Amino acid sequence: MARLFGTDGVRGRANDELTAELALGLASAAVRVLGAHALDDEHRRPRVVVGRDPRASGELLEAALCAGLAAAGADAIRVGVVPTPAVAFLTADYGADFGVMISASHNPMPDNGIKFFGTGGHKLDDATEDAIEAAMEAPPIRPVGADIGRLIEAPDAVHRYLEHLAASGGDDLAGLTLVVDCANGAASQVGPQAYAAAGAKVIAIHAEPDGLNINDGCGSTHLGNLQAAVLEHGADLGLAHDGDADRCLAVDSTGAVVDGDQIMAILALSMHERGLLKDNVLVATVMSNLGLHLAMREAGIELKVTGVGDRYVLEELRAGEYSLGGEQSGHIVIPSAGTTGDGVLTGLLLARRVAQTGQRLADLAAAMTILPQVLINVPVSDKHAVAQAETVRAAVAEAEAQLHGDGRILLRPSGTEQLVRVMVEATTAEAAQSIAERVAQVVAAV
């Protein structure tokens, strides 16, 4: 039987794979595992922060989760539509036992997801997720009378989160004009407010969520509109978030994209200069461009590499007590300011670097040279069987021989879809494209 939890919580097509019944069961099981200490204390009930992005199915799943939490004896603190990192922050700020975010991040509207944060707002490890999954098979906890959980509204949630962003991201963006693409998602309210509060002139686009338009041709996975808006308004930079705003990608004043690797390079060099980069270490995943490796090596910064997924970056950051890590996709984690990737905070810090140095974002991003990289998503019937296929192994070996050590090839299964991602880096775009297409054809034939 396939594991219920993927790389970032439980995801699926809402009301089909991810049903109200499943949400109810997950809530009850999570109270049993994550609320165990409170359940053992006769003087209090478990307290759980519940937030969501604005997709329509979030209303259904929120109702089911809150019902499951209350039925298991936990109080649900409803914080409404907020970014995923806000739920992580508020879990700690409210002193809750755990938090739940309802979002499928950058996925299209029909999908949704449920992700949990433990005490203090930290993502769960595999063992804890497995324990929740196992607890779904146990008889449900069903208190009665005064022990039934309650629903608690949290009208101050957004204000608390904005104050946190101001304290962590600074307020020195006066004179900057920036465009922010909110992906019609969870940052549609707090993103523009946070950047304006820091002093920037803000032009918000795709900031009118209707429950159906999240990530629809906008946000961090569709940067064309942001590029056009930056040029139209003569902005200093543009920032793009995904549906739950744990990502940030950027566009410089010329309209060129600045990806997560470049953002990490800019922030790492800034922290290195100020003596804030613990052990001179940056943590990134295997997907990061070789150009980042070369730029960090030249600056005297060690790059530690993890598997794909911000949870693995987080684990390495916590293990070494490091200061900065992230992914090419725009998940950037700064442990001193938060327990998970925060797209709005990343945007604030990036804009702050532009303001403080007086340099264009394009000049700051030039600290690293991006090697040509091609990524092809290949639909497959069994993503876990691909790596074992002899034809695929042979194709990868042939590709590595062709690269002669001047590039690399990486195959990995998607954490949320039946896809295998074929990534190739080479000294020329033509070579990367050719090799990636050839390997992708072999993968597709498995």
Structural contact between residues 342 and 258, judged by C-beta atoms closer than 8 angstroms: no
Which residues have C-beta within 8 Å of that of residue 24, sequence separation ≥ 6?
Answer: 64, 65, 67, 68, 71
Within a domain: residue 3? no
Quote the pLDDT of residue 158: 98
> Do 89 and 180 belong together in one domain?
no
pTM of this prediction exceeds 0.75:
yes
Count other C-beta atoms under 10 Å from residue 286's C-beta: 14
Q: Is 150 helix (H, G, I), strand (E, B) or coil?
A: coil
Dihedral of the CA atoms 423, 429, 433, 434 (nearest 10)? Answer: -120
Within a domain: residue 234? yes
Q: Which of 330, 364, 356, 332 is nearest to 176 (CA)?
A: 356
Quote the pLDDT of residue 388: 86
**Domains contained in the chain, number:** 3
Which residues have C-beta within 8 Å of that of residue 225, sequence separation ≥ 6?
Answer: 181, 205, 206, 217, 218
> Do 84 and 182 belong together in one domain?
no
Structural contact between residues 230 and 255, judged by C-beta atoms closer than 8 angstroms: yes
248, amino acid identity: C
The runs of H, that is alpha helices, within 54-197 are 57-71, 84-93, 126-135, 157-169, 190-197
Quote the pLDDT of residue 1: 55
Which three-class secondary structure string do you get for 360-386? CHHHHHCCCCCCCEEEEEEECCCCCCH
pLDDT in tens, 251-262: 999 999 999 999
> Do 346 and 433 belong together in one domain?
no
182, amino acid identity: C
Q: Can you tell me the distance from the alpha carbon of 192 to that of 205, in angstroms, rounded to the nearest whole number?
A: 10
Q: Can you tell me the distance from the alpha carbon of 195 to that of 198, in angstroms, rounded to the nearest whole number?
A: 5
> Do 221 and 245 belong together in one domain?
yes
105 annotated among ligand-binding-site residues: yes
> Do 229 and 315 belong together in one domain?
yes
Quote the pLDDT of residue 8: 83
- What is the extent of the structural domain holding 77? 10-155
Beta strands (DSSP E) in 310-434 are 325-326, 332-333, 373-379, 408-413, 419-425
Parallel, antiparallel, or unpaired for β 281-285 and 302-306? parallel
Within a domain: residue 5? no
Return the CATH number at 37.
3.40.120.10
Q: Can you tell me the distance from the alpha carbon of 446 to that of 441, in angstroms, rounded to the nearest whole number?
A: 9
Q: Can you tell me the distance from the alpha carbon of 199 to that of 207, in angstroms, rounded to the nearest whole number?
A: 19
288 annotated among ligand-binding-site residues: no
Q: Can you tell me the distance from the alpha carbon of 9 to that of 11, in angstroms, rounded to the nearest whole number?
A: 6
> Do 145 and 166 belong together in one domain?
no
> Do 266 and 301 belong together in one domain?
yes
Q: What's the burial of 256, exposed, middle or buried (CB within 10 Å: 0-12/13-18/19+)?
A: middle
Which residues are marked as active site? 105
> Do 319 and 426 belong together in one domain?
no
Return the CATH number at 411.
3.30.310.50
> Do 296 and 319 belong together in one domain?
yes
> Do 432 and 318 belong together in one domain?
no
242 annotated among ligand-binding-site residues: yes
Q: Can you tell me the distance from the alpha carbon of 138 to that of 231, in angstroms, rounded to the nearest whole number?
A: 57
Q: pLDDT tens track of the chain, all 446 residues? A: 578 998 789 999 999 999 999 999 999 999 999 998 877 777 789 999 999 999 999 999 999 999 999 999 999 999 999 999 999 999 999 999 999 999 999 999 999 999 999 999 999 989 999 999 999 999 888 999 999 999 999 999 999 999 999 999 888 999 999 999 999 999 999 999 999 999 999 999 999 999 999 999 999 999 999 999 999 999 999 999 999 999 999 999 999 999 999 999 999 999 999 999 999 999 999 889 989 998 999 999 999 999 888 888 999 999 999 999 999 999 999 999 999 999 999 999 999 999 999 999 999 999 999 999 899 999 998 898 898 899 999 999 999 999 887 788 999 888 778 899 999 999 899 999 999 999 999 999 98
Structural contact between residues 206 and 264, judged by C-beta atoms closer than 8 angstroms: no
Parallel, antiparallel, or unpaired for β 419-425 and 47-52? unpaired
Which residue pairs, CB below 8 angstroms and at least 24 apart, start in 232-236? Answer: 233/177, 233/179, 233/203, 234/177, 235/177, 235/178, 235/179, 235/203, 236/176, 236/177, 236/178, 236/351, 236/354, 236/360, 236/361
> Do 86 and 140 belong together in one domain?
yes
172 annotated among ligand-binding-site residues: no
Last residue of a domain, one of 155, 189, 205: 155
Structural contact between residues 239 and 179, judged by C-beta atoms closer than 8 angstroms: yes
No. of H helices and E strands in the chain?
15, 18
